[in-house]
Structure 1
Protein backbone atom coordinates (compact mmCIF):
# COMPACT_ATOMS: atom_id res chain seq x y z
CA UNK A 1 0.00 0.00 0.00
CA UNK A 2 2.90 2.31 0.60
CA UNK A 3 4.10 1.64 -2.98
CA UNK A 4 0.79 2.67 -4.54
CA UNK A 5 0.44 5.90 -2.56
CA UNK A 6 3.16 7.90 -4.30
CA UNK A 7 1.83 7.07 -7.74
CA UNK A 8 -1.58 8.30 -6.80
CA UNK A 9 -0.08 11.49 -5.50
CA UNK A 10 1.76 12.07 -8.73
CA UNK A 11 -1.41 11.56 -10.66
CA UNK A 12 -3.21 14.14 -8.59
CA UNK A 13 -0.37 16.60 -9.02
CA UNK A 14 -0.37 15.97 -12.75
CA UNK A 15 -4.07 16.61 -12.98
CA UNK A 16 -3.76 19.81 -11.02
CA UNK A 17 -0.95 21.07 -13.24
CA UNK A 18 -2.86 20.06 -16.36
CA UNK A 19 -5.95 21.87 -15.14
CA UNK A 20 -3.91 24.93 -14.38
CA UNK A 21 -2.28 24.89 -17.81
CA UNK A 22 -5.62 24.31 -19.53
CA UNK A 23 -7.16 27.17 -17.60
CA UNK A 24 -4.28 29.37 -18.54
CA UNK A 25 -4.70 28.47 -22.20
CA UNK A 26 -8.41 29.20 -22.08
CA UNK A 27 -7.75 32.52 -20.40
CA UNK A 28 -5.16 33.39 -23.01
CA UNK A 29 -7.61 32.56 -25.81
CA UNK A 30 -10.32 34.69 -24.33
CA UNK A 31 -7.91 37.56 -23.92
CA UNK A 32 -6.76 37.16 -27.51
CA UNK A 33 -10.30 37.15 -28.81
CA UNK A 34 -11.16 40.22 -26.82
CA UNK A 35 -8.07 42.08 -27.96
CA UNK A 36 -8.62 41.11 -31.58
CA UNK A 37 -12.24 42.18 -31.45
CA UNK A 38 -11.28 45.48 -29.98
CA UNK A 39 -8.60 45.90 -32.60
CA UNK A 40 -11.02 45.16 -35.41
CA UNK A 41 -13.57 47.43 -33.86
CA UNK A 42 -11.03 50.16 -33.70
CA UNK A 43 -9.81 49.63 -37.28
CA UNK A 44 -13.27 49.21 -38.81
CA UNK A 45 -14.85 52.25 -37.12
CA UNK A 46 -15.06 55.44 -39.24
CA UNK A 47 -13.59 58.39 -37.40
CA UNK A 48 -16.01 61.28 -37.00
CA UNK A 49 -15.46 64.11 -39.46
CA UNK A 50 -13.33 66.91 -38.22
CA UNK A 51 -15.51 70.03 -38.37
CA UNK A 52 -14.10 72.71 -40.62
CA UNK A 53 -14.09 75.98 -38.70
CA UNK A 54 -16.19 78.66 -40.36
CA UNK A 55 -14.21 81.89 -40.51
CA UNK A 56 -15.96 84.56 -38.54
CA UNK A 57 -16.07 88.06 -40.03
CA UNK A 58 -13.17 90.08 -38.79
CA UNK A 59 -14.49 93.02 -36.87
CA UNK A 60 -12.87 96.30 -37.73
CA UNK A 61 -11.05 98.02 -34.98
CA UNK A 62 -12.48 101.32 -36.25
CA UNK A 63 -16.28 101.10 -36.50
CA UNK A 64 -17.83 102.42 -39.67
CA UNK A 65 -19.89 105.47 -38.75
CA UNK A 66 -23.58 105.26 -39.46
CA UNK A 67 -24.84 108.37 -41.23
CA UNK A 68 -27.04 110.40 -38.98
CA UNK A 69 -30.53 111.30 -40.08
CA UNK A 70 -30.47 114.44 -37.96
CA UNK A 71 -29.49 117.48 -40.06
CA UNK A 72 -26.48 119.40 -38.89
CA UNK A 73 -27.20 122.65 -37.13
CA UNK A 74 -24.08 124.22 -38.61
CA UNK A 75 -24.13 124.27 -42.39
CA UNK A 76 -20.79 124.53 -44.21
CA UNK A 77 -20.02 127.74 -46.03
CA UNK A 78 -19.49 127.01 -49.74
CA UNK A 79 -16.02 127.81 -50.98
CA UNK A 80 -16.12 129.92 -54.15
CA UNK A 81 -14.36 128.54 -57.17
CA UNK A 82 -12.21 130.54 -59.54
CA UNK A 83 -15.16 131.18 -61.82
CA UNK A 84 -17.33 132.59 -59.05
CA UNK A 85 -17.35 136.18 -57.90
CA UNK A 86 -18.56 137.22 -54.51
CA UNK A 87 -20.42 140.49 -54.83
CA UNK A 88 -22.33 142.49 -52.26
CA UNK A 89 -26.08 142.56 -52.32
CA UNK A 90 -27.34 145.10 -54.85
CA UNK A 91 -28.53 148.30 -53.33
CA UNK A 92 -31.41 150.30 -54.60
CA UNK A 93 -30.23 153.28 -56.63
CA UNK A 94 -31.85 156.63 -55.99
CA UNK A 95 -34.73 157.20 -58.35
CA UNK A 96 -34.01 160.90 -58.65
CA UNK A 97 -31.28 160.69 -61.26
CA UNK A 98 -28.49 161.73 -58.87
CA UNK A 99 -25.34 159.81 -58.02
CA UNK A 100 -24.10 159.89 -54.45
CA UNK A 101 -21.05 162.09 -54.02
CA UNK A 102 -18.96 160.69 -51.17
CA UNK A 103 -17.00 162.58 -48.59
CA UNK A 104 -13.83 164.11 -49.96
CA UNK A 105 -14.77 163.54 -53.61
CA UNK A 106 -16.64 166.78 -54.10
CA UNK A 107 -15.28 170.29 -54.05
CA UNK A 108 -16.10 173.56 -55.69
CA UNK A 109 -13.68 173.00 -58.57
CA UNK A 110 -15.84 170.13 -59.80
CA UNK A 111 -19.05 172.15 -59.87
CA UNK A 112 -20.21 174.25 -62.83
CA UNK A 113 -20.29 177.99 -62.28
CA UNK A 114 -17.25 178.05 -60.00
CA UNK A 115 -14.02 179.82 -60.87
CA UNK A 116 -11.03 179.40 -58.53
CA UNK A 117 -10.09 183.10 -58.64
CA UNK A 118 -13.61 184.58 -58.59
CA UNK A 119 -15.65 182.00 -56.74
CA UNK A 120 -19.25 181.42 -57.80
CA UNK A 121 -20.07 183.97 -60.50
CA UNK A 122 -23.09 182.16 -61.90
CA UNK A 123 -25.40 179.33 -60.81
CA UNK A 124 -24.49 175.88 -62.13
CA UNK A 125 -25.35 175.55 -65.81
CA UNK A 126 -27.50 172.45 -65.30
CA UNK A 127 -29.96 174.65 -63.39
CA UNK A 128 -30.75 176.75 -66.45
CA UNK A 129 -33.83 174.67 -67.31
CA UNK A 130 -35.53 175.72 -64.07
CA UNK A 131 -37.69 178.82 -64.36
CA UNK A 132 -38.77 179.38 -60.76
CA UNK A 133 -37.26 179.06 -57.30
CA UNK A 134 -38.78 179.18 -53.83
CA UNK A 135 -36.81 179.37 -50.61
CA UNK A 136 -36.95 176.72 -47.94
CA UNK A 137 -39.06 178.33 -45.23
CA UNK A 138 -39.26 178.01 -41.47
CA UNK A 139 -42.72 176.44 -41.57
CA UNK A 140 -41.32 173.55 -43.65
CA UNK A 141 -39.04 172.45 -40.78
CA UNK A 142 -40.46 169.34 -39.09
CA UNK A 143 -37.45 168.15 -37.04
CA UNK A 144 -34.31 169.65 -35.52
CA UNK A 145 -35.81 173.12 -35.26
CA UNK A 146 -33.59 173.86 -32.25
CA UNK A 147 -30.51 173.47 -34.51
CA UNK A 148 -31.64 175.86 -37.27
CA UNK A 149 -31.92 179.62 -37.20
CA UNK A 150 -33.32 181.65 -40.10
CA UNK A 151 -31.37 184.88 -40.44
CA UNK A 152 -31.16 188.10 -42.39
CA UNK A 153 -28.15 190.21 -43.24
CA UNK A 154 -24.84 189.60 -44.99
CA UNK A 155 -21.69 187.62 -44.28
CA UNK A 156 -18.28 187.19 -45.87
CA UNK A 157 -17.08 183.82 -47.14
CA UNK A 158 -13.61 183.78 -48.70
CA UNK A 159 -13.90 187.58 -48.91
CA UNK A 160 -17.14 187.52 -50.94
CA UNK A 161 -20.47 188.89 -49.78
CA UNK A 162 -23.41 186.51 -49.28
CA UNK A 163 -26.91 186.81 -47.84
CA UNK A 164 -27.66 183.60 -45.93
CA UNK A 165 -31.12 182.04 -45.66
CA UNK A 166 -30.44 180.15 -42.42
CA UNK A 167 -27.58 178.79 -40.36
CA UNK A 168 -27.06 175.52 -38.49
CA UNK A 169 -25.66 175.55 -34.97
CA UNK A 170 -22.13 174.15 -34.74
CA UNK A 171 -21.73 170.87 -32.87
CA UNK A 172 -19.37 167.91 -32.85
CA UNK A 173 -22.34 165.55 -32.51
CA UNK A 174 -24.36 164.57 -35.56
CA UNK A 175 -27.34 166.87 -35.94
CA UNK A 176 -30.25 166.51 -38.36
CA UNK A 177 -32.72 169.05 -39.65
CA UNK A 178 -35.73 167.78 -41.60
CA UNK A 179 -37.96 169.63 -44.08
CA UNK A 180 -41.33 168.62 -45.49
CA UNK A 181 -41.78 169.22 -49.24
CA UNK A 182 -45.01 169.25 -51.22
CA UNK A 183 -43.59 167.16 -54.07
CA UNK A 184 -44.30 169.68 -56.83
CA UNK A 185 -40.65 170.82 -57.11
CA UNK A 186 -38.27 169.39 -59.71
CA UNK A 187 -34.91 170.34 -58.21
CA UNK A 188 -33.05 171.66 -55.19
CA UNK A 189 -30.11 174.04 -54.90
CA UNK A 190 -28.20 174.20 -51.64
CA UNK A 191 -25.13 176.37 -51.11
CA UNK A 192 -23.41 176.39 -47.73
CA UNK A 193 -20.14 177.55 -46.23
CA UNK A 194 -18.22 178.91 -43.27
CA UNK A 195 -18.12 182.59 -42.48
CA UNK A 196 -14.74 184.31 -42.53
CA UNK A 197 -13.26 184.70 -39.07
CA UNK A 198 -12.64 188.21 -37.79
CA UNK A 199 -9.26 187.09 -36.42
CA UNK A 200 -6.97 184.10 -36.57
CA UNK A 201 -7.24 180.98 -38.69
CA UNK A 202 -8.61 177.47 -38.32
CA UNK A 203 -9.05 174.17 -40.11
CA UNK A 204 -12.60 173.75 -38.85
CA UNK A 205 -14.30 171.09 -40.99
CA UNK A 206 -17.97 170.20 -41.36
CA UNK A 207 -19.18 166.90 -42.76
CA UNK A 208 -22.54 167.34 -44.49
CA UNK A 209 -24.94 164.67 -45.78
CA UNK A 210 -28.06 165.41 -47.80
CA UNK A 211 -30.84 162.82 -48.03
CA UNK A 212 -34.06 162.93 -50.03
CA UNK A 213 -36.97 160.64 -49.09
CA UNK A 214 -34.61 158.58 -46.94
CA UNK A 215 -31.94 158.13 -49.64
CA UNK A 216 -28.48 159.67 -49.35
CA UNK A 217 -27.84 161.78 -52.46
CA UNK A 218 -24.79 163.79 -51.47
CA UNK A 219 -22.02 163.75 -48.85
CA UNK A 220 -18.97 165.97 -48.58
CA UNK A 221 -16.78 168.20 -46.44
CA UNK A 222 -16.84 171.95 -46.00
CA UNK A 223 -13.41 173.04 -44.73
CA UNK A 224 -12.35 176.51 -43.69
CA UNK A 225 -9.56 178.15 -45.70
CA UNK A 226 -9.88 175.72 -48.62
CA UNK A 227 -11.67 175.83 -51.97
CA UNK A 228 -14.50 173.95 -50.31
CA UNK A 229 -15.07 176.64 -47.68
CA UNK A 230 -18.27 177.17 -49.67
CA UNK A 231 -20.02 174.45 -51.69
CA UNK A 232 -22.96 174.38 -54.10
CA UNK A 233 -25.05 171.21 -54.42
CA UNK A 234 -27.68 171.08 -57.20
CA UNK A 235 -29.99 168.04 -57.08
CA UNK A 236 -32.89 166.83 -59.15
CA UNK A 237 -35.66 165.79 -56.75
CA UNK A 238 -38.96 165.59 -58.69
CA UNK A 239 -41.83 164.45 -56.48
CA UNK A 240 -39.75 164.29 -53.28
CA UNK A 241 -41.59 164.93 -50.03
CA UNK A 242 -38.76 165.07 -47.47
CA UNK A 243 -35.30 166.61 -47.16
CA UNK A 244 -32.87 165.87 -44.32
CA UNK A 245 -29.62 167.78 -43.79
CA UNK A 246 -27.24 165.94 -41.47
CA UNK A 247 -24.07 167.66 -40.31
CA UNK A 248 -21.30 167.40 -37.73
CA UNK A 249 -17.88 168.90 -37.03
CA UNK A 250 -15.11 166.42 -37.83
CA UNK A 251 -12.17 168.81 -37.17
CA UNK A 252 -12.71 171.33 -34.40
CA UNK A 253 -9.83 173.58 -35.39
CA UNK A 254 -9.33 174.94 -31.87
CA UNK A 255 -13.04 175.46 -31.14
CA UNK A 256 -15.36 173.68 -28.74
CA UNK A 257 -18.96 172.59 -29.17
CA UNK A 258 -20.30 175.61 -27.33
CA UNK A 259 -18.43 178.20 -29.44
CA UNK A 260 -17.99 176.53 -32.86
CA UNK A 261 -18.87 178.83 -35.79
CA UNK A 262 -22.18 177.91 -37.45
CA UNK A 263 -22.63 176.53 -40.95
CA UNK A 264 -24.38 179.07 -43.19
CA UNK A 265 -26.71 178.18 -46.06
CA UNK A 266 -26.52 181.00 -48.57
CA UNK A 267 -28.78 179.20 -51.09
CA UNK A 268 -31.69 176.98 -50.10
CA UNK A 269 -34.09 176.92 -53.03
CA UNK A 270 -36.70 174.55 -54.41
CA UNK A 271 -36.62 174.69 -58.21
CA UNK A 272 -39.53 174.45 -60.64
CA UNK A 273 -39.64 174.13 -64.42
Structure 2
Protein backbone atom coordinates (compact mmCIF):
# COMPACT_ATOMS: atom_id res chain seq x y z
CA UNK A 1 0.00 0.00 0.00
CA UNK A 2 2.86 2.40 0.83
CA UNK A 3 4.41 1.77 -2.59
CA UNK A 4 1.04 2.26 -4.28
CA UNK A 5 0.54 5.62 -2.55
CA UNK A 6 4.10 6.66 -3.42
CA UNK A 7 3.45 5.90 -7.09
CA UNK A 8 0.26 7.97 -6.98
CA UNK A 9 2.20 10.88 -5.45
CA UNK A 10 4.84 10.71 -8.19
CA UNK A 11 2.12 10.64 -10.84
CA UNK A 12 0.40 13.68 -9.30
CA UNK A 13 3.66 15.65 -9.26
CA UNK A 14 4.36 14.68 -12.87
CA UNK A 15 0.90 15.69 -14.10
CA UNK A 16 0.95 18.96 -12.14
CA UNK A 17 4.00 20.14 -14.09
CA UNK A 18 1.96 20.35 -17.31
CA UNK A 19 0.14 23.53 -16.29
CA UNK A 20 -0.27 24.91 -19.81
CA UNK A 21 -1.83 21.67 -21.03
CA UNK A 22 -4.19 21.62 -18.04
CA UNK A 23 -5.37 25.18 -18.69
CA UNK A 24 -5.73 24.54 -22.43
CA UNK A 25 -7.78 21.43 -21.71
CA UNK A 26 -9.99 23.36 -19.31
CA UNK A 27 -10.73 26.08 -21.87
CA UNK A 28 -11.40 23.56 -24.65
CA UNK A 29 -13.75 21.49 -22.51
CA UNK A 30 -15.57 24.62 -21.37
CA UNK A 31 -16.39 25.91 -24.85
CA UNK A 32 -17.15 22.44 -26.21
CA UNK A 33 -19.54 22.02 -23.27
CA UNK A 34 -21.39 25.18 -24.30
CA UNK A 35 -21.86 23.77 -27.78
CA UNK A 36 -23.19 20.46 -26.44
CA UNK A 37 -25.52 22.31 -24.07
CA UNK A 38 -26.96 24.28 -27.00
CA UNK A 39 -27.64 21.02 -28.84
CA UNK A 40 -29.47 19.60 -25.81
CA UNK A 41 -31.63 22.73 -25.49
CA UNK A 42 -32.55 22.41 -29.17
CA UNK A 43 -33.36 18.70 -28.78
CA UNK A 44 -35.75 19.38 -25.89
CA UNK A 45 -37.48 22.05 -28.01
CA UNK A 46 -39.43 23.56 -25.11
CA UNK A 47 -40.21 20.26 -23.35
CA UNK A 48 -39.42 20.17 -19.65
CA UNK A 49 -38.74 16.42 -19.46
CA UNK A 50 -37.81 13.50 -21.73
CA UNK A 51 -37.82 9.90 -20.48
CA UNK A 52 -37.57 11.01 -16.85
CA UNK A 53 -34.69 13.42 -17.51
CA UNK A 54 -35.50 17.12 -17.07
CA UNK A 55 -33.84 19.81 -19.17
CA UNK A 56 -31.91 20.96 -16.10
CA UNK A 57 -30.85 17.37 -15.52
CA UNK A 58 -29.74 16.96 -19.13
CA UNK A 59 -27.70 20.18 -18.98
CA UNK A 60 -26.10 19.00 -15.75
CA UNK A 61 -25.41 15.66 -17.44
CA UNK A 62 -23.50 17.52 -20.15
CA UNK A 63 -21.65 19.65 -17.59
CA UNK A 64 -20.52 16.60 -15.62
CA UNK A 65 -19.52 14.88 -18.83
CA UNK A 66 -17.23 17.76 -19.75
CA UNK A 67 -15.88 17.92 -16.20
CA UNK A 68 -15.17 14.18 -16.12
CA UNK A 69 -13.51 13.87 -19.55
CA UNK A 70 -9.97 13.96 -18.17
CA UNK A 71 -10.77 12.29 -14.83
CA UNK A 72 -12.28 9.24 -16.57
CA UNK A 73 -10.01 9.55 -19.65
CA UNK A 74 -13.10 9.22 -21.83
CA UNK A 75 -11.08 9.79 -25.01
CA UNK A 76 -8.81 6.92 -24.05
CA UNK A 77 -5.14 6.48 -23.23
CA UNK A 78 -2.27 4.87 -25.14
CA UNK A 79 0.57 5.09 -22.62
CA UNK A 80 0.83 1.35 -21.98
CA UNK A 81 0.91 0.71 -25.73
CA UNK A 82 3.83 3.11 -26.02
CA UNK A 83 5.87 1.18 -23.44
CA UNK A 84 5.24 -2.07 -25.30
CA UNK A 85 6.52 -0.61 -28.58
CA UNK A 86 9.48 1.17 -26.99
CA UNK A 87 10.49 -1.88 -24.97
CA UNK A 88 10.36 -0.01 -21.66
CA UNK A 89 7.62 -2.36 -20.50
CA UNK A 90 10.44 -4.78 -19.66
CA UNK A 91 11.48 -2.61 -16.72
CA UNK A 92 7.85 -2.38 -15.57
CA UNK A 93 7.49 -6.16 -15.62
CA UNK A 94 10.40 -6.67 -13.22
CA UNK A 95 9.13 -4.16 -10.67
CA UNK A 96 7.83 -5.59 -7.35
CA UNK A 97 4.26 -4.63 -8.19
CA UNK A 98 1.84 -6.15 -10.74
CA UNK A 99 1.62 -4.28 -14.04
CA UNK A 100 -2.12 -3.68 -13.57
CA UNK A 101 -1.56 -2.09 -10.14
CA UNK A 102 1.47 -0.09 -11.33
CA UNK A 103 -0.49 1.53 -14.14
CA UNK A 104 -3.51 2.00 -11.89
CA UNK A 105 -1.40 4.16 -9.55
CA UNK A 106 0.00 6.17 -12.46
CA UNK A 107 -3.44 6.66 -13.99
CA UNK A 108 -5.05 7.57 -10.68
CA UNK A 109 -2.49 10.30 -10.01
CA UNK A 110 -3.15 11.90 -13.39
CA UNK A 111 -6.90 11.57 -12.92
CA UNK A 112 -6.93 13.24 -9.50
CA UNK A 113 -5.04 16.28 -10.80
CA UNK A 114 -7.43 16.58 -13.74
CA UNK A 115 -10.44 16.20 -11.44
CA UNK A 116 -9.37 19.16 -9.30
CA UNK A 117 -7.86 21.47 -11.92
CA UNK A 118 -10.15 20.76 -14.86
CA UNK A 119 -13.20 18.98 -13.48
CA UNK A 120 -14.27 21.06 -10.50
CA UNK A 121 -13.36 24.40 -12.07
CA UNK A 122 -15.25 23.59 -15.26
CA UNK A 123 -18.33 22.57 -13.30
CA UNK A 124 -18.23 25.86 -11.38
CA UNK A 125 -17.85 27.92 -14.57
CA UNK A 126 -20.67 26.01 -16.25
CA UNK A 127 -22.96 26.76 -13.29
CA UNK A 128 -22.57 30.48 -13.96
CA UNK A 129 -24.41 30.13 -17.27
CA UNK A 130 -26.70 27.11 -16.93
CA UNK A 131 -28.74 25.60 -14.08
CA UNK A 132 -26.68 22.79 -12.57
CA UNK A 133 -28.50 20.25 -10.41
CA UNK A 134 -26.77 18.95 -7.28
CA UNK A 135 -27.49 16.07 -4.88
CA UNK A 136 -30.07 17.15 -2.31
CA UNK A 137 -28.50 15.46 0.72
CA UNK A 138 -25.20 14.40 2.23
CA UNK A 139 -26.11 10.77 1.56
CA UNK A 140 -26.65 11.70 -2.08
CA UNK A 141 -23.10 13.04 -2.22
CA UNK A 142 -21.75 9.86 -0.62
CA UNK A 143 -23.50 7.68 -3.21
CA UNK A 144 -22.24 9.98 -5.96
CA UNK A 145 -18.63 9.72 -4.81
CA UNK A 146 -18.90 5.94 -4.62
CA UNK A 147 -20.47 5.72 -8.08
CA UNK A 148 -17.90 8.03 -9.69
CA UNK A 149 -15.06 6.11 -8.02
CA UNK A 150 -16.51 2.89 -9.43
CA UNK A 151 -16.83 4.60 -12.83
CA UNK A 152 -13.12 5.38 -12.72
CA UNK A 153 -12.27 1.77 -11.87
CA UNK A 154 -14.31 0.43 -14.79
CA UNK A 155 -12.83 3.05 -17.12
CA UNK A 156 -9.28 2.19 -16.08
CA UNK A 157 -9.84 -1.56 -16.43
CA UNK A 158 -11.32 -1.05 -19.91
CA UNK A 159 -8.43 1.15 -21.06
CA UNK A 160 -5.86 -1.27 -19.66
CA UNK A 161 -7.54 -4.09 -21.58
CA UNK A 162 -7.59 -2.09 -24.83
CA UNK A 163 -3.88 -1.23 -24.49
CA UNK A 164 -2.98 -4.91 -24.32
CA UNK A 165 -3.73 -5.14 -28.05
CA UNK A 166 -0.20 -3.77 -28.50
CA UNK A 167 1.19 -7.23 -27.74
CA UNK A 168 -0.30 -8.60 -30.97
CA UNK A 169 0.02 -5.84 -33.55
CA UNK A 170 2.78 -3.38 -34.50
CA UNK A 171 0.34 -0.45 -34.24
CA UNK A 172 -2.74 -0.94 -32.08
CA UNK A 173 -3.78 2.71 -32.01
CA UNK A 174 -6.41 2.12 -34.68
CA UNK A 175 -7.91 -0.65 -32.57
CA UNK A 176 -7.77 1.64 -29.56
CA UNK A 177 -9.47 4.55 -31.30
CA UNK A 178 -12.28 2.28 -32.48
CA UNK A 179 -12.72 0.78 -29.02
CA UNK A 180 -12.76 4.19 -27.34
CA UNK A 181 -15.24 5.59 -29.88
CA UNK A 182 -17.55 2.68 -29.11
CA UNK A 183 -17.25 3.24 -25.36
CA UNK A 184 -17.97 6.97 -25.73
CA UNK A 185 -21.14 6.22 -27.68
CA UNK A 186 -22.43 3.42 -25.44
CA UNK A 187 -21.45 5.02 -22.11
CA UNK A 188 -23.80 7.95 -22.59
CA UNK A 189 -20.98 10.48 -22.82
CA UNK A 190 -21.99 11.80 -26.25
CA UNK A 191 -25.75 11.78 -25.58
CA UNK A 192 -27.49 10.73 -22.33
CA UNK A 193 -28.62 7.11 -22.66
CA UNK A 194 -32.18 8.09 -21.75
CA UNK A 195 -32.37 10.15 -24.94
CA UNK A 196 -31.46 7.19 -27.16
CA UNK A 197 -34.16 4.97 -28.69
CA UNK A 198 -35.20 2.41 -26.06
CA UNK A 199 -33.87 -0.57 -28.02
CA UNK A 200 -30.43 1.02 -28.38
CA UNK A 201 -30.32 2.08 -24.74
CA UNK A 202 -31.10 -1.50 -23.68
CA UNK A 203 -28.33 -2.75 -25.95
CA UNK A 204 -25.86 -0.33 -24.37
CA UNK A 205 -26.76 -1.58 -20.91
CA UNK A 206 -25.63 -5.07 -21.91
CA UNK A 207 -22.07 -3.71 -22.13
CA UNK A 208 -19.73 -2.37 -19.42
CA UNK A 209 -19.76 1.12 -20.92
CA UNK A 210 -22.70 2.69 -19.02
CA UNK A 211 -20.89 1.71 -15.81
CA UNK A 212 -17.99 3.91 -16.95
CA UNK A 213 -20.02 7.11 -17.06
CA UNK A 214 -23.82 7.00 -17.22
CA UNK A 215 -24.31 5.29 -13.86
CA UNK A 216 -22.24 7.83 -11.94
CA UNK A 217 -24.04 10.79 -13.51
CA UNK A 218 -27.53 9.34 -12.96
CA UNK A 219 -26.68 8.69 -9.31
CA UNK A 220 -25.51 12.32 -9.03
CA UNK A 221 -28.75 13.55 -10.58
CA UNK A 222 -30.91 11.36 -8.34
CA UNK A 223 -32.40 9.57 -11.36
CA UNK A 224 -31.10 6.36 -9.79
CA UNK A 225 -32.21 6.29 -6.16
CA UNK A 226 -33.43 4.11 -3.32
CA UNK A 227 -32.99 0.37 -3.79
CA UNK A 228 -31.62 1.00 -7.30
CA UNK A 229 -28.44 2.50 -5.87
CA UNK A 230 -27.07 -0.74 -4.47
CA UNK A 231 -27.89 -2.55 -7.70
CA UNK A 232 -26.24 0.15 -9.83
CA UNK A 233 -22.99 0.05 -7.85
CA UNK A 234 -23.12 -3.74 -7.84
CA UNK A 235 -23.28 -3.75 -11.65
CA UNK A 236 -20.29 -1.41 -11.76
CA UNK A 237 -18.37 -3.72 -9.45
CA UNK A 238 -19.30 -6.74 -11.55
CA UNK A 239 -18.03 -5.15 -14.76
CA UNK A 240 -14.79 -4.09 -13.06
CA UNK A 241 -14.15 -7.68 -11.96
CA UNK A 242 -14.97 -9.04 -15.43
CA UNK A 243 -12.63 -6.58 -17.15
CA UNK A 244 -9.82 -7.25 -14.67
CA UNK A 245 -10.23 -11.01 -15.17
CA UNK A 246 -10.09 -10.67 -18.97
CA UNK A 247 -7.13 -8.31 -18.85
CA UNK A 248 -5.10 -10.67 -16.66
CA UNK A 249 -5.70 -13.59 -19.03
CA UNK A 250 -4.69 -11.51 -22.04
CA UNK A 251 -1.71 -9.97 -20.22
CA UNK A 252 -0.30 -13.40 -19.34
CA UNK A 253 -0.64 -14.48 -22.97
CA UNK A 254 1.02 -11.26 -24.11
CA UNK A 255 3.97 -11.68 -21.75
CA UNK A 256 4.46 -15.28 -22.92
CA UNK A 257 4.50 -13.98 -26.49
CA UNK A 258 7.21 -11.45 -25.60
CA UNK A 259 9.34 -14.13 -23.94
CA UNK A 260 8.95 -16.61 -26.81
CA UNK A 261 9.99 -13.96 -29.33
CA UNK A 262 12.94 -12.97 -27.17
CA UNK A 263 11.50 -9.58 -26.23
What band does the TM-score fall into relative to the shorter chain? Answer: under 0.3
Instruction: Report the TM-score when normalising by structure 2.
Output: 0.20
| Higher share in strand | 1
Structure number with greater CO (CA < 8 Å, separation at least 6) is 2
Instruction: Report the TM-score when normalising by structure 1.
Output: 0.19
Larger Rg: 1
